[in-house]
Amino acid sequence: MRISERLSSMCVKSLIQSMDTQIMCMLAKQVIPGYDIHRQTGIPEGLAVSNRHVARQIVSDMIAGDHFPEFVALLIEMQDTGLMGRKYPVFFIDDVVRGMYELGFLYDRENRMFIDNPAFRYTRNWGALRNGIEYIVSFLRIDIVGNSELVRRHSAEIAQKTYENLRSIVYTASNKRNGRIWSWEGDGGLVAFFFSNKHLLAALSAMEIIHELYIYNLTQNILDKPLQVRIAVHSGPFDYTENEEELTRSDTVKRVMEIESNHTKPDTITISPVVKVMLDEFVVRKFKPTEAKAHSEFFYYRLGWENI
């Protein structure tokens, strides 16, 4: 991440005028465990490090380690809600936040972190999630029904165009709700939701995909039969990674894939109990318990005439 000299200088100025070196180092350790200002500056233990030197070193290290947004978020929290039972006034914090906005970030007060401003930035991790850190994520898994038959009955060009059209429908439905496509294999993929009511946003995206696919089959489908999909939505803990092999080893991802493949009928959305309890009443009423007793823990939505 490229941080301007003006923004880094403003952050240094904020630290110098807002706190002593002990508080600065305490903040740095919250972002980088084990942070040692003497080791970082090369100044021997026992010798004092000036307030200005500490501030510059910490800001430099935060930028170098790609921790700057996290550090600024900590400064905001320090002023708004306090740290260790005490609130601290942080001078020039509004100027620092303004600089983050100019970089394409918005501050999410609910999650206390900076995220991508969708008007300027679009990244896989919303500019916020960090590798190896556990988050609660809602996943939407979608897969084409009978993909092998689709490939066998149609030319590669028609199959590829169909995949692209489906991905476009999925992208449009999820992107407007701040979802991110984390994996796509042509005939289906995995979409992640993290902010706001992520469970509801994932379910609404799934419902929109089913509705849009109905219209697509009536007006744009180039296959010799309707394009059918299965969709599952499930939420749970996930250790963030950008490695797709590690992605599929996650228990939560395995679970949503298993729900989609084993407990979901064609043209149907299946949600887990974890998702259902987080939906508002209006949306919950659209989902029915699955018919089979063995699968009674799940709930499904299928497009019917009353929904069109």
The DSSP line for 89-149 is --TTHHHHHHHHHHTTEEEETTTTEEEE-TTT---TTTTT--TT-EEEEEEEEEEETTHHH
Burial 182-212 (b: 16+ CB within 10 A, else e): bebeebbbbbbbbbeebbbbbbbbbbbbbeb
Cα(216)–Cα(124) distance, integer angstroms: 27
pLDDT per residue as tens digits for the range 47-80: 999 999 999 999 999 999 999 999 999 999 999 9
pLDDT per residue as tens digits for the range 75-110: 999 999 888 888 899 999 999 999 999 999 999 988
Domain boundaries, the chain: 5-116, 134-307
pLDDT-based confidence at 292, cuts 50/70/90? Answer: low
Other Cβ atoms less than 10 A from the Cβ of 49: the count is 16
Pairing of β 268-271 and β 229-239: parallel
pTM here is 0.83
Cα(200)–Cα(206) distance, integer angstroms: 10
Q: 134-307 in CATH: which number?
A: 3.30.70.1230
Q: Which residues lie across from 239 on neighbouring strands?
A: 134
